Structure 1
Amino acid sequence: MVWASIALVLIGAAVLVMIGLSIAGMLRKEEARDERLHDPLTPTVTWEVPPGVDPVIVGGELTAAGYPNSLEDHAGAPSLCISCPPGERSQVRSLIEAVEAEQYAPALQLPPVVFLEDAA
């Protein structure tokens, strides 16, 4: 009975260590992605997320389509910083519009997708 308790404690400790290592790995990946997005040599666009739109849903679709992104705060409003190679702004814009149409139309009257870099 004592051996079973010791084995259970060791297994529990091993599981906790594995969970910790896994979380640390995810954090390292997220930090590396943020560093790449904020590298001056990485072309990016910033999209201010309209009220009522979940940036996680849009960000997930962008990531799945090959556009790494990061949720940020811009002037008190949530925004997505999106890695966007030159010449692909229209594809990124179309992807965001498609997600908005699928997830939020017609319940929300959303403005056209405009990147902050285009508005300046």
Structure 2
Amino acid sequence: MFEDSKTPAAAWENTATLPEITVDPEKLAAAAETLRKAWAGIMASFEVAAEAFGKWIQSVAAEVEAQHEMETALRWARCYNRPLYNRYTHTKKKRTRKKYAKRILKWYRTEVAPC
């Protein structure tokens, strides 16, 4: 309350009144149309980003699955195909190691995975 007023009614008389707000229907329709166009643009860019993100997630999932399959194949080869596993683990060259990795995967897919 104001210090110079004694009653609440007197305090309200001293405050400034707000101007009346009028809404023009044409301006409101134009603003809604502008908002709709902006939202459509945002959604279009979001769909492109979501599609790219989905492709990236699928590629990451495929890499993880391939790595998991290789680890499983190596575990099986360690027990049931020891000569091939030993050649893979004792190879220093990347090219040769890759060759034995392919052989282990081929063996795993034909002998173990169908079971």
Give the shorter-chain TM-score range.
0.3 to 0.5
Which structure shows the higher strand fraction? 1
TM-score by length of 2: 0.42
Highest Rg: 1 or 2? 2
Richer in helix (by share): 2
TM, length-normalised to structure 1: 0.41
